[in-house]
C-alpha cells in the first residue's frame, strides 16, 4: 500500500512513513492511493471475530509492506488490553432499531483512545531499533490531548507537545493532560481557540526550517493511522447488527469530520452503510454543515459552549 498527498506535491510514502510523518510536506493529507475492498463473502467471514482479530483483518490492507497481519494483531492486542470492557466498543440496545456504540471504555474515557492507544504502539514499533527521535505536536479541545498524552507518555524517543486553548477545555480533561508527570510530555496553554491552536500546528508542519531540524508527527486526524483505526468500529458495529446482509445507518457526533470520514472509508471498503448523518454535533458548528449541505464555506462568529467532562458521546445507529 502506498499513500499520496491530497495536494499531489509530496512524495508517496508507505504506511510506516505516513504514520511518522503525519501531515504531508505540501500541506496535504496522506490518504491511500486506492481504497482496498472486501467482498460480501469476506465481510461475512468476519462475523464472530474478537475486536482485536477484526481490527487486524480490517487494517491489514492499509499496513501491507510495513507490518504483517500477525504483527498488527499483536499491536492491537497491546493497545486494547487496557480497555475496561472485554468487547472494547460494546453495543447497547435502545429500542428495536436504535443502538449506541460505546466508545468510552479506554483509559481516558474519550473515543480518541480507540485510535490513539494503537497509534502510540505504532510510533514505538516504527522507531525501535533506530536512532530517530519523534516530536509529536498536536492541538486539542480536551479529548485528543489527554488520549494522546496517555498513549505516548514515557515512551522512548518520543516527545509530545500538546496545545490547548486556555480556559476552553473541561477541568477534567485539563487535569488529565497537565497532571501527567512523564518527562516527555509538554502541555502548552495558548490564548485563543482550538482553531488557533490547530493553525499553529499546521504552520509548523509547513515550515521547512522546522521540519528539516526535527522529525515532526501528528496525533490529530490529519494522521492517516488515526483515521484508519476508527474504521474498525464501523465494521464491528455493522457486523453485530446483521451486515453484510443488512445495511446499517450511522449517526455520528463529529467535530472536524474525521470520525464520520472513517465511516465513509468503511463504506468504500465494501461495508453496506445506508447513510452517515452528522448528528447534532453540527449544531454548534454551522460552518461545516453549510460546507457539506450547501457548498458554502465561510467563517462565523465564535460561539462559546459548556462542555461535559468528555466528548466521548456514543455513536447512535439504526439497523
Active site residue ranges: 112
The answer to whether the CB of 271 falls within 8 A of the CB of 244 is yes
**Which residues, at least 6 apart from 233, have a Cβ–Cβ distance to it below 8 Å?**
89, 101, 103, 114, 315
**Contact indicator for 297, 159 with CB cutoff of 8 Å:** no
With b for 16 or more beta-carbon neighbours within 10 A and e for fewer, the 155-178 pattern comes to bebbbbbbbbbeebbbeebbebbb
Q: Using CA atoms in the order 282, 288, 290, 291, what is the torsion angle rounded to 10 degrees? A: -150
- Dig out the grid coordinates for 256 from the structure: 472536524
**Rounded Cα–Cα distance for residues 312 and 144 (Å):** 10
DSSP letter (8 states) at residue 313: P
Strands 158-165 and 185-190: parallel
Distance CA 173, CA 193 (A): 16
- CB atoms under 10 Å from CB of 307, counted, come to 16
Distances (CA, A) of 311 to 22, 137, 251, 276: 23, 21, 15, 19
Q: 43: exposed, middle or buried (C-beta count within 10 Å: 0-12, 13-18, 19+)?
A: buried
CA distance 163 to 211: 18
Amino acid at each position: 500500500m502506498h499513500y499520496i498527498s491530497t495536494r499531489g506535491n509530496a512524495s508517496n510514502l508507505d504506511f510506516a512513513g505516513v504514520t511518522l510523518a503525519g501531515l504531508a510536506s505540501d500541506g496535504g493529507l496522506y490518504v491511500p492511493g486506492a481504497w482496498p475492498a472486501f467482498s460480501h463473502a469476506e465481510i461475512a467471514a468476519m462475523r464472530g471475530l474478537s475486536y482485536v482479530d477484526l481490527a487486524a483483518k480490517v487494517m491489514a490492507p492499509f499496513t501491507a509492506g510495513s507490518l504483517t497481519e500477525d504483527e498488527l494483531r499483536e499491536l492491537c492486542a497491546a493497545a486494547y488490553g487496557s480497555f475496561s470492557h472485554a468487547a472494547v466498543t460494546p453495543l447497547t440496545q435502545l429500542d428495536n432499531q436504535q443502538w449506541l456504540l460505546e466508545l468510552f471504555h479506554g483509559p481516558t474515557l474519550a473515543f480518541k483512545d480507540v485510535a490513539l492507544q494503537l497509534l502510540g504502539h505504532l510510533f514505538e514499533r516504527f522507531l525501535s531499533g533506530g536512532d530517530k527521535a519523534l516530536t509529536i505536536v498536536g492541538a486539542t479541545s480536551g479529548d485528543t490531548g489527554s488520549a494522546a498524552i496517555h498513549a505516548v507518555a514515557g515512551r522512548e524517543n518520543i516527545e509530545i507537545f500538546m496545545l490547548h486553548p486556555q480556559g476552553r477545555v473541561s477541568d477534567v480533561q485539563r487535569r488529565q493532560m497537565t497532571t501527567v508527570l512523564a518527562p516527555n510530555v509538554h502541555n502548552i496553554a495558548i490564548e485563543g481557540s482550538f482553531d488557533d491552536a490547530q493553525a499553529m500546528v499546521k504552520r509548523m508542519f509547513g515550515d521547512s526550517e522546522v521540519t528539516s531540524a526535527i522529525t515532526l508527527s501528528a496525533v490529530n486526524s490529519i494522521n492517516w493511522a488515526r483515521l484508519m483505526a476508527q474504521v474498525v468500529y464501523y465494521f464491528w458495529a455493522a457486523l453485530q447488527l446483521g451486515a453484510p446482509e443488512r445495511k446499517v445507518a450511522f449517526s455520528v457526533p463529529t467535530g472536524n469530520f474525521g470520525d464520520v470520514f472513517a465511516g465513509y472509508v468503511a463504506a468504500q471498503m465494501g461495508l453496506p452503510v445506508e447513510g452517515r448523518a452528522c448528528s447534532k454535533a453540527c449544531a454548534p458548528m454551522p460552518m461545516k454543515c453549510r460546507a457539506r449541505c450547501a457548498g458554502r464555506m465561510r467563517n462565523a462568529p465564535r460561539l462559546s459552549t459548556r462542555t461535559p467532562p468528555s466528548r466521548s458521546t456514543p455513536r447512535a445507529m439504526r439497523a
